[in-house]
Structure 1
Amino acid sequence: MATSFFDDVIPEDRAPNDNEGQSVDPDNRSLNSLSSDQDGQQPMEVLFQDEGIRRRKSSLVPSTAPRPENMRRKTQCFVHSLLEKHDGAILKDHEQSYEGLAQERRVDKDPHSHAEQSHHSRLLTKKQISDMAFGIRELSKKLAQIRLKLHVRSIFILAKAHDETLISHTRETTDWLLTKNSKYKVYVEHTLEHNRIFDADGLLAKNPGYRGRLKFWTNELCAEKPQSFDIVLALGGDGTVLYSSWLFQRIVPPVLAFSLGSLGFLTKFDYEQYPQTISRAFDEGITVSLRLRFEATIMRSQSRDNPRRDLVEELIGEESEDHHTHKPDGTHNILNEVVVDRGPNPTMSSIELFGDDEHFTTVQADGICVSTPTGSTAYNLAAGGSLCHPDNPVILVTAICAHTLSFRPIILPDTIVLRAGVPYDARTSSWASFDGRERVELRPGDYVTISASRFPFPSVLPLDRKSKDWIDSISRTLQWNSRQRQKSFKEWS
């Protein structure tokens, strides 16, 4: 997983060459690749952080130390006997259980038999999803302890193209970057090419050296060549960061977000300090936090002769192996949440909720919100869901105005594949949205699969306060647990 991530982030023509060896600098604990690009400069350097890695001397036991004696006796427990005899290895002379067989079965339908060629999470087995999620978590832990020094060449700037203030900030940042280094290429949205406020022609006339280095990106370029960009500079609020996740549906460059919005859960840096922030990030390196994303696929019900169809039977019952009942109709990688709601219908929604091969419940509510840990402070919070640290490997499920007193928000492991569908006997259709975008209608029989995505979202953290950044954000933006301090007693003497 780690190899795939770095191969995707670093363009192929500047990727480190493992065959040329590595050198370790003991003074700054850096791992430098000896490969170089055409200008002889190194594309990336990894700096290991010193804090938090020291251990007590009492915990350092020599490898030759004898194992302490124990008073354990032989056990009749079947599990213990397996561990003693086989050291946890799988026994081949035992039949696989139902749970073991379930680990090797794909969770969702594959009508076109493209499982071998497809990378969709819903077509992976339970074990593959677990391994993938574990690999992402391990990579995230490693990235939290190192500093990445990227050899930045191509800089992607993202801002709202209809906001005059942000257009001015985009022009100011672009001008500063192009002046700072003659090797930088800066990409801005193509709609700014003829924008009066951005004034691209004025920038080029100001300095002829900008020509050929000021470029314009399109949605198609983001989808087809995400490796073209070394880093994303997001100017705006949390919505701008979500927009970058929507633009880069698969591989996402590291996103350094400047706060120019209202709240700022995802925007970590003050725009007023952008010259110092960018200079430090490019010179000293960046620390990246991998945010879990979900992969959501719309599955459409296919016409059949049977007039009395049952969605539960088609997904987990006798018809679950029939791949002709549904077909996929679009997949989205989302950072915040998937919402299935009643849309413009005057009545509440009826939604069947499945987890892997189990029917969880029938939800009768205005809708249901399935949130990532990152999205726990967004719609999930407004619907009454739990706050969740972004490092937690979970899926949050919260009902929206449930027509019952007993539907409490639940938290599930990120290895589950959820399916939320509209039953065939529902009064009305429902509507699904993905990070608030791509709103589509789900007719009776349609459903949405939701699972962990193998394409996480790399968010750049402040080097000085990365460990307490999330607590600071909820305290600052939500005034979490803010109240007047209780006065102390004045003892009478």
Structure 2
Amino acid sequence: HIQDPASQRLTWNKPPKSVLVIKKIHDASLLQPFKELCAYLTEENNMIVYVEKKVLEDPAIANDEHFGPVKKKFCTFREDYDDISNQIDFIICLGGDGTLLYASSLFQGSVPPVMAFHLGSLGFLTPFNFENFQSQVTQVIEGNAALVLRSRLKVKVVKEHREKTTVQNGIEENGVVSANLEKEVGKQIMQYQVLNEVVVDRGPSSYLSNVDVFLDGHLITTVQGDGVIVSTPTGSTAYAAAAGASMIHPNVPAIMITPICPHSLSFRPIVVPAGVELKIMLSPDARNTAWVSFDGRKRQEICHGDSISITTSCYPLPSICFRDPVSDWFESLAECLHWNVRKKQNNFAVEEEE
């Protein structure tokens, strides 16, 4: 039996009490919607509202006396300092797709349901319009909404730890000219949860990137080009789509491997099962290092001996639908990417009988 995507529904074990509101910063057009939403949540629904501290540092919010009583009720946090992962019932995003990616980055484990309002420049992942936000938020609080579970990637970066020793004026105590020394003193391990894609590229180097891709321990190919994108179905409509990949519905369990400008006429993007483990390493004969980023963030250099392991995470991002997973996706394809927009072909004119 294949599950109907529309059968996934939002259900609350108990009524939600706390909500995280994420607002795109440095955007004056979002100030009024942000204030209206927060006032509605606190005053009409008696909810505990969490807001990032830097959002409230905006002078337009900090100096608004009328908004003061609402602002005093907020719980604030700082990214990378405060852990709020166990205190949030659901998330509301105001902005573009970047706000949803940011919400994902805040939760490295289980993610609360996310309701995203389209107030940014793209809005492929943000199906809600703000005009009727009160009724829409109320429906979510009552549990009357469809869900799409957007798979994420669990990424583990293992680096050979190199200790750099800076020598003053490039001369050691014995008078020998020396560059910076690198000493291997173990391994450094970092983990990330990724909603869109992992991008490995050549960085500032003018040489081709040269990276080996392993699937479940077997070398499947070496990428020689500008780089490679490993993406989720959600990420298939982002950078991967620009690099020529197919667009995959978020309910499809899969991982996509898409080369970036490969120096090969036959290197087509491929789709592999969601259950595999991918590993990416610099090829032994690579002329230069590579660089990696995760949903466009945490960019860092990858050197010989370092590895990037990628699997499907057991913590998807539950995205609240405006209608249902299928309708919302095709609506986004049409509205944001103008998928298959073409002038209609005319039919043959019917000749009148003589």
TM class, shorter-chain normalised?
0.7 to 0.9
Identity of aligned residues (%): 37
Q: Which residue of 2 aligns with 1:225?
A: 84
**1:195 pairs with 2:55:** no
Q: Which runs of 5+ in 2 are unaligned?
A: 163-183
- Aligned equivalents of 1:325 and 1:386: distance in 2? 43
The reply on whether 1:467 has 2:306 as its aligned counterpart is no
What is the rounded CA distance, in whole Å, between the counterparts of 1:420 and 1:326 in structure 2? 20
Tell me the residue number matched to 1:369.
Answer: 229
Q: By how many angstroms is 1:203 displaced?
A: 4.7
2:251 and 2:47 map into 1 onto residues whose CA distance is: 33
| Aligned-partner Cα distance in 1 for 2:72–2:336 | 41
What corresponds to 1:257 in structure 2?
116
Pair 1:291 & 2:150 matched: yes
> Could you say what secondary structure the match of 2:61 adopts?
coil
Match of 1:197, SS state, is helix
Q: Show the 5 A alignment for 1:23-172.
A: 144-149=7-12, 151-172=15-36
1:362-405 per-residue CA deviation (whole Å, 9 max, x = no partner) reads 11110000110000000000111111111111111111010111
Instruction: Tell me the TM-score normalised to structure 1 length.
Output: 0.63
Counterpart in the other structure of 1:480: 339
The answer to whether residue 215 in structure 2 is matched with residue 355 in structure 1 is: yes
Deviation at 1:175, TM superposition (A): 1.7
Distance 1:203 1:247 in 2: 30
Q: C-alpha separation between the residues in 2 aligned to 1:420 and 1:211?
A: 46
Structure-2 separation of matches of 1:411 and 1:265: 21
The aligned amino acid for 2:348 is F
Instruction: Confirm or deny: 8 A CA contact 2:222 2:283 kept in the other structure.
Output: no
Counterparts of 1:279 and 1:378 in 2: how far apart (Å)? 31
Q: Which residue is 2:165 aligned to?
A: none
Question: Is 1:339 aligned to 2:199, yes or no?
Answer: yes
1:425 alignment partner, one of 281, 285, 296: 285
Alignment partners' CA distance in 1, 2:317 and 2:188: 24
Contact residue 339 and residue 370 of structure 1 kept, 8 A = yes
- 1:192–1:200 CA contact under 8 A, matched in 2: no
Any idea what the Cα deviations from partners look like across 1:324-375, whole Å, max 9, x if unmatched?
Answer: 9984521100000001000011111000110012110111110000110000
| Separation of aligned partners in 1, 2:247 and 2:258 | 12
Q: Hey, what does 2:297 align to over in structure 1?
A: 437
C-alpha separation in 2, matches of 1:264 and 1:174? 21
Is the alpha carbon distance of 1:220 and 1:350 closer, same or farther for their aligned partners in structure 2, counting shifts above 3 Å?
A: closer
Distance 1:227 1:428 in 2: 42
**Residues 207-218 of structure 1 correspond to what in structure 2 (within 5 A)?**
207=69, 210=70, 213-218=73-78
2:246 to 386, 389, 392: 386
Deviates more, 1:275-284 or 1:426-435: 275-284
> Secondary structure of 1:346's match?
coil
Letter of the 2:54 partner, please give it: T
Matched, 1:240 2:99: yes
Deviations 1:18-62 (A, max 9, x none): xxxxxxxxxxxxxxxxxxxxxxxxxxxxxxxxxxxxxxxxxxxxx
Q: What SS class does the counterpart of residue 403 from structure 1 fall into?
A: coil
| Residues 263 and 211 of structure 1, relative CA distance in 2, 3 Å threshold | closer
| 3-state SS, counterpart of residue 395 of structure 1 | strand
TM-score of the two chains, using structure 2 as the length reference: 0.86
Amino acid at match of 1:170: F
**By percentage of residues, which structure has more strand?**
2
When residues 363 and 241 of structure 1 are mapped into structure 2, their CA distance, relative to the original with a 3 A threshold, is same
Cα RMSD after superposing both structures: 2.4
- Radius of gyration: which is bigger? 1
Deviation track 1:75-113 (CA, whole Å, cap 9, x = no partner) reads xxxxxxxxxxxxxxxxxxxxxxxxxxxxxxxxxxxxxxx
Corresponding residue pairs, total: 329
Q: Measure the CA separation in 1 of the matches of 2:280 and 2:143.
A: 45
What SS does the corresponding residue of 2:140 show, helix, strand or coil?
helix
- 1:147 Cα deviation (Å)? 4.1
| Residues 218-243 of structure 1: per-residue CA shift (max 9 Å, x gap) | 22476x33121111000000011001
Would the aligned equivalents of 2:147 and 2:325 in 1 still touch at CA under 8 Å? no
For structure 1, list consecutive stretches of 5 or more residues without a partner in the other structure.
1-136, 304-323
Select 1:173's aligned residue among 11, 33, 37.
37
Q: State how far apart, in whole Å, the 1-side matches of 2:72 and 2:59 are.
A: 20
Assess if the C-alpha contact under 8 Å between 2:233 and 2:249 holds in 1. Answer: yes
Letter in 2 for 1:481: N
Contact 1:296 1:332 in 2 (8 A): yes
Is the alpha carbon distance of 1:427 and 1:455 closer, same or farther for their aligned partners in structure 2, counting shifts above 3 Å? same
Q: Give the secondary-structure state (helix, strand or coil) at the position aligned to 2:268.
A: coil
Q: Distance in 2 between matches of 1:194 and 1:248?
A: 23
Question: Which structure has greater helix proportion?
Answer: 1
Q: Which moved more, 1:348-357 or 1:150-159?
A: 150-159
Give the direction of change, closer, same or farther, for the CA distance of 1:200–1:282 in structure 2 (3 Å limit).
Answer: farther
> Corresponding residue for 1:276?
135
Paired with 1:201 and 1:290, the residues of 2 have a C-alpha distance of 38
What amino acid is the match of 1:467? Answer: V
Q: Which has the higher contact order (CA 8 A, sep 6+)?
A: 2
